[in-house]
Amino acid sequence: MSSIETRYSELTEHIRELCDKYNRPPAQLLAVSKTKPLADIQALYSAGQRSFGENYLQEAVEKKNHLLSAGSADDIQWHFIGPLQSNKTKLAAENMCWVQTVDRLKIARRLSEQRPGQMPPLNVLVQVNISGEESKSGVPSAEVPALLGQIAELPRLRLRGLMAIPAPAEGLEAQRQPLRAMRLLYEQHAQTYDFDTLSMGMSSDMEAAIAEGSTKLRVGTALFGERK
């Protein structure tokens, strides 16, 4: 087995163990393949992985089209997880299966308007600035309820839940605090909107995220190795 396949099977096993440990249903794994070559994606695809996350839209679309023209991997679910500018919404709407970083109505409206009619509705998550960092994207927690109400009205979007990138913290307890706040926010709105996705947890805070009920882990480094 190549090293990436080994890491993949070890990681999925590790996630299973953590979900058992915290009595959580199995969390899904989103493979964050930004900056990584097609060969890595193909290796994981062969090993059974079907969801991939990218931060740069151009890169995501190039990878998607390469794999499609190679005649393989047409059942990959592509997730956009980077900051989304309004001049890129069309590219996202036409190519992605999910956009996890919706944090304002203008972007959501454009995505809904630009989602092609022959495609299923675009899955979206609202990104929350849970640590209240000034420079970070995401909607402040206090504005989440209003934004959810507005996005739920948009016909070509399917609102699935919430996403966050908390400020880096050391140690399990410190990491769990913002993630717990996310879970509470998620639980407040889950029934109203029929949520099924709480996207949180990366290579460095996976255990904390599982402990707090993440349903979708976004893992890059622990799977593909360090990025340049």
Ligand X SMILES: *Cc1c(COP(=O)(O)O)cnc(C)c1O
Q: Which residues here bind ligand X, judged by CB under 6 A?
A: 32, 34, 55, 81, 165, 202-204, 218-222
Closest distance of CB 12 from ligand X, Å? 15
Closest residue by beta carbon to ligand X: 220
> Torsion angle of alpha carbons 166, 168, 172, 175, nearest 10°?
-20
Q: Which residues of 52-89 are buried (b: 16+ CB within 10 A; e: fewer)?
A: bbbbebeebbebbeebeeeeebeebebbbbbbbeeebb
Q: Cα–Cα–Cα angle for 48, 41, 11, nearest 5°?
A: 55
- 111: phi then psi, degrees, rounded to nearest 5: -60, -40
Distance of alpha carbon 123 from alpha carbon 108, whole angstroms? 11
Closest distance of CB 187 from ligand X, Å? 22
Closest distance of CB 89 from ligand X, Å? 18
Helix (H) or strand (E) holding 159: strand 157-164
Q: Which is nearer to ligand X, 96 or 156 (CB)?
A: 96
Tokens describing residue 135: 């420079």
Q: Which is nearer to ligand X, 96 or 202 (CB)?
A: 202
Q: Which is nearer to ligand X, 50 or 192 (CB)?
A: 50
Helix, strand, or coil here: 31? strand
Closest distance of CB 131 from ligand X, Å? 14
Q: Which is nearer to ligand X, 37 or 116 (CB)?
A: 37
Q: Which is nearer to ligand X, 165 or 179 (CB)?
A: 165
Closest distance of CB 128 from ligand X, Å? 12
Distance of alpha carbon 203 from alpha carbon 112, whole angstroms? 31
Closest distance of CB 191 from ligand X, Å? 26
Residue with tokens 């919404």: 89
Q: Which is nearer to ligand X, 107 or 156 (CB)?
A: 107
